[in-house]
Amino acid sequence: RAEYDTEGENGPSQKSMWARRTLADRETHFYHVLTDTIITECIERNVGTLAVSWPEDVRESDWGKTGNKKLHTWAFDRIYQYLAYKGEVRGVEVVKENEWDTSKTCSRCGDDTMSNRVERGLYVCSSCELVANADCNGAENMRQKITPSPHGEDRSNGCVAQPSTHLFDRESGTFHTREQVVS
């Protein structure tokens, strides 16, 4: 991506400016398609409230030169704004939920032992022996903050969650489930 960072004596070259505009337009299109796909899926599944994980004060930390550059191009606030306005237009409430401690706390018993997070992506509770995908455990903790289960009941329906993968098709400019893209 050297062409995006090229600076001449009189500022960026015309080619560099064109490349930056093209990249920005592609990113904007990608974010719009992504957020539209998410809101459409919420409507199809009768989801009235969409909780968005919000990394509170993440930009206040110093992650070093490279880390800060990557962090400040992270578009979570922009994606949230797109989700919020598209959700409002289509009747889906979009709320920010602080993600602090959600992935290290057990969604079943509330144990927050750091060693429960065994490795990236795997959560094993030492108290109640829950084994879960760490992100799914964190998402369930966020759900419980927003819509607590009545009388502490387990809202599980007994089914194992099967997250779907959506891939961006550059030719059509849309998202498709992995099965539709691969087959």
Let me know if residue 62 belongs to a domain.
Answer: yes
Same domain, 36 and 121: no
Helix (H) or strand (E) holding 46: none
Instruction: Specify if 106 maps to a domain.
Output: yes
Question: pLDDT tens string for the chain (183 positions)?
Answer: 555 555 667 777 888 889 889 988 999 999 999 999 999 999 998 989 898 887 776 666 766 777 666 666 678 889 999 999 999 999 999 998 887 778 788 988 989 888 888 887 888 999 998 998 888 888 888 888 887 766 556 655 444 445 567 778 888 888 777 664 444
Q: How many angstroms separate the CA atoms of 182 and 167, rounded?
A: 10
Q: Examine the domain organization and report whether 88 and 130 are in the same domain.
A: no
Please enumerate in sequence order all residues whose Cβ is within 8 A of that of 96, keeping only pairs 6 or more positions apart, or say none. Answer: 51, 52, 54, 80
The domain tally of the chain equals 2
- Structural domain boundaries enclosing 48: 1-95
Q: Same domain, yes or no, for 83 and 122?
A: no
Question: Which DSSP string do the residues of 94-142 spell out, in sequence order?
Answer: EEEEE-TTTTTS-TTT----GGGEEETTEEE-TTT--EEEHHHHHHHHH
Q: Model's pTM, two decimal places?
A: 0.69
Q: Are residues 85 and 37 in the same domain?
A: yes
42 touches 85 (CB < 8 A): no
